[in-house]
Amino acid sequence: MNIIRIIILTLISINVFGQNKQFFYEYKFISDSTNVKNLEKEIMVLNIGNNKSEFYSLEKFKSDSILNADSKKGIFSVPPNKKMNGDRVVRNSNTQKIEFITPIELYRYSVSQNIDLKWNILAEFNNILGFDVQKATTEFGGRKWIAWFAKEIPIQSGPYKFFGLPGLILKIEDLYKNHTYELKGIKETKGDFNYPYVNNYRDIKITYSKYVKIYKNFRKNPMAGSVGTFPDQTDANGVFHSGNEIFREFEKKALEDLKKDNNIIELDLLKK
């Protein structure tokens, strides 16, 4: 996504920062700590409605919208073969509890999680997109974070699982700049927001402690749910491959990918 294509709206009146707004953040991250030059980028959206906020990938939203529309027409379609952030964060206003929606293998888990961020607000100031911002720090997920929030945007929210400051978080990054969210644009919306539902996973509601166990088991055995599902095949050259052989190849690739995904945003999840 070309950042330049996002229209940056400079809003003057505080009253316009009521509900029904979309805040576009550029998310920059380093997935592999052994390859710090590989800086990836993605546009994320913080949707603010009357009673809740929702944070998600713009590219994934577009993909899911197409799949949802096709499904209603009776058309079976598949998502594009490209890397997209499939996580979503939903929070009701004025609560510390979030719903973290994340896909793992064949399941889409809705994780109930209580977030209690201890913010340290500092007397340091800056300017982002024409907004006066103030510095604050906190610790979350095994990382130290530096945030810049704007009091003139009286929305106590921010990207990902960050919220609770007296103004919208316009930028937040960890101490070593492995993960950075920075506001790039604002758009006014109308009506209630509903994320498009795509029925391509089995939906399960779980607690956060249960999710931690599932996630750690997935990192150790990412193909556990696919054991015995690969049929025997003969390739184009007439060479026979057993289902078990094919499974092992997929498992090897999955483990290699996870090995390179060693710098996740919540490092605590990688602890044994």
CA distance readout (Å), 52 to 56, 178, 181, 207: 13, 28, 20, 20
Q: What is the pLDDT of residue 34?
A: 95
71 φ, ψ to 5°? -60, -40
Task: Render pLDDT for 41-70 as a digit per residue (tens, 0 to 9).
Answer: 999 999 998 889 999 999 999 999 999 988
For residues 198-217, average pLDDT: 95
Judged on CB neighbours under 10 Å (0-12, 13-18, 19+), 37 is: exposed
Q: 3-state DSSP helix/strand/coil percent for the chain, to nearest 5?
A: 20, 35, 40
Q: Is the confidence at residue 240, as pLDDT, over 90? A: no
Dihedral sign computed on CA atoms, order 9, 12, 18, 23: positive
Sorted by where each starts, the structural domains of the chain and their CATH numbers stand as 3-188 (2.50.20), 208-270 (no CATH)
Please give the DSSP secondary-structure letter assigned to residue 126. Answer: E
Model confidence, pTM = 0.90
**CA–CA separation, 253 vs 260, rounded Å?**
11
173 φ, ψ to 5°? -150, 155
In this predicted structure, which of 159-163, 198-202, 223-227 has the lowest mean pLDDT? Answer: 223-227
Cα dihedral 269→174→108→187 (10° resolution): 170
Instruction: Answer with the residue of higher pLDDT: 74 or 202.
Output: 202
Q: What is the pLDDT of residue 103?
A: 95
**CA–CA separation, 234 vs 229, rounded Å?**
16
**CA–CA separation, 94 vs 157, rounded Å?**
10
Judged on CB neighbours under 10 Å (0-12, 13-18, 19+), 146 is: middle
- From 161, 163, 170, select the one nearest 135 (Cα to Cα): 170
Task: Render pLDDT for 163-180 as a digit per residue (tens, 0 to 9).
Answer: 999 999 999 999 999 999
214 Cα distance to chain centroid = 18
Other Cβ atoms within 10 Å of 188 Cβ, number: 11
Mean pLDDT across the chain, nearest whole number?
A: 89
Task: Render pLDDT for 111-120 as a digit per residue (tens, 0 to 9).
Answer: 999 999 999 9
